[in-house]
A and B are shown apart, each in its own frame.
Chain A
Amino acid sequence: MERHFEHDLEELKQRLLWMGSLSERAVHQAVQAVLDVEEHMAESVLEEENGINEMQIEIDERVTRLLAQQQLVAIDLRFILAVSRINNDLERIGDQAVNIAQSALRILRHPQVKPYVDLPRMSEIAEGMVRDSLNALVRGDIDLARSVLARDDQVDLLRDQMFRELLTYMMENSAVVFPAFELILVAKNLERIGDHATNIAEDVIYIVAGRDVRHPALDRR
């Protein structure tokens, strides 16, 4: 029997996915702004931040309403709890994108420190993680979600690599300290984006399989 609140749950999912696509695009544009030294792209990221924040508030209101009015259980309950968490992760991703854009605006006044090798690779992986975690949500695909979890280590490694490399540059040449430092921040932001994408993937596994895979080191029997 179809219940009318299923329509509300479906709408909620659509809103979340829309927010996801906004965040995804913000990350991509912010990184492009750094790599291609595009000022207007960085600015567009800053302008669109409000849209993401408004969506977060709207989604939270919808979640509250649904929780108050419907006694959701099982998959519906897991879904709505996960939506609430994913909502926050997506907003944080948006914030990280804004930080990257701000770094881009600051870097473009300086010459390029070095050819970007690790940065595009890292951003490709991080963006891929965001995209795939949202696709996993759409399709309820646990395997795709797990592949996102697996890539987190790669992102962390690349961040460490970038840190070491940029530190060396900063030590050798004090003139590049400022832009190099911004690049370290960008790397940090990308690594955080990877973490948030990982959280989203964990929430997808929670919805579909009912398992909380957040801290595997903890022995939860």
Chain B
Amino acid sequence: MNAAATVRAMQTAIPATTPGAQETSEPLRFKIRGLNFFYGPKQALYGIDLDVPANRVTALIGPSGCGKSTFLRNLNRMQETIRHTRLEGEILLDGQNILELDVVKLRKRVGMVFQRPNPFPKSIYDNVAYGLRINGYKGSLSELVEKSLRRSALWDEVKDKLSHSAYALSGGQQQRLCIARALAVDPEVLLLDEPCSALDPVTTAKIEELMFQLKDSCTMVIVTHNMQQAARASDFTAFLLDGKLIERTVTSKLFTTPTDPRTEAYITGRFG
């Protein structure tokens, strides 16, 4: 029997506790209960319960196809843009069900950064100002643009070329631009879907430092296939497998003494 099969065979021995329940008394930003998600007839997420503490970084890890990106994209209802999908269960943002909120307002509070940098074919300034403009912001755009670029550690590199095309920037700079663009509308939560997978290690380190600094003002949920990144950069880590949440705990504990053998098999690389 290969390692994965051995581990799956041990499933019956697992005690039935709610793996996603809170361990500490941190205030929560997101509370997800009983999340089932379907692509047409095919179920992708099975009864996920997860707590996302405020002003902390929560990482989602798991093998390819385990549903972590699907899960993340439900938090700002981006999955609705795909046809024939269905969602069951509760996703509460500060106590309110996000399905009852206006989706535009939701996405102002919950921003997203994607795997490949996707700046608009506009100038750097216009990219950052985009979210502000479409939401009818009436104040000093330039101030907010500068503030966002500072928050994403990009200001010094672009301050004299704000009118240049965003495409003139390197990959790492473009990703930081996308972060600045998302931060411009001052979201409470930032969702990051494998933000560093297209970037080199030095740029990745810069973005991880950025996340560390942003924590105080912004809750972050990051999906990553890079376990070391989850270990380095997050406060809480959740392990997903085949659409189910297996374990979720304080990161240092997950990577030293995980409770579930499947988690251990995955993080030690013994997984298939």
Contact = CB atoms under 8 A, between A and B. Distances in A.
Does A touch B (CB under 8 Å) in the complex? yes
Interface of A: 1-5, 64-65, 68-71
B228 interface: yes
A8 to B, nearest CB: 11
Given A4-B212, A64-B256, A69 B206 contact: no
A69 B209 contact: no
18 contacts: A1-B205, A1-B206, A1-B209, A2-B209, A3-B205, A3-B209, A65-B252, A65-B256, A68-B231, A68-B252, A68-B256, A69-B232, A69-B252, A69-B255, A70-B231, A70-B232, A71-B228, A71-B231
Contacts of A71: 228, 231-232
A103 to B, nearest CB: 40
A65 B255 CA distance: 8
Given A69-B251, A69-B255, A71-B231, 11 more contacts: A1-B206, A2-B209, A4-B212, A5-B232, A65-B252, A68-B231, A68-B252, A68-B255, A68-B256, A69-B231, A70-B232
B249 to A, nearest CB: 13
Interface residues of B, number: 11
Per DSSP, chain B at the interface is helix
Interface string B206-244: 100100100000000000000010011000000000000
Contacts of A2: 209
A64 B254 CA distance: 12
Contacts of A65: 252, 256
A134 to B, nearest CB: 28
Contacts of A3: 205, 209
B228 to A, nearest CB: 5
Nearest to B254: A68
B191 to A, nearest CB: 22
A1 B212 CA distance: 13
A164 to B, nearest CB: 51
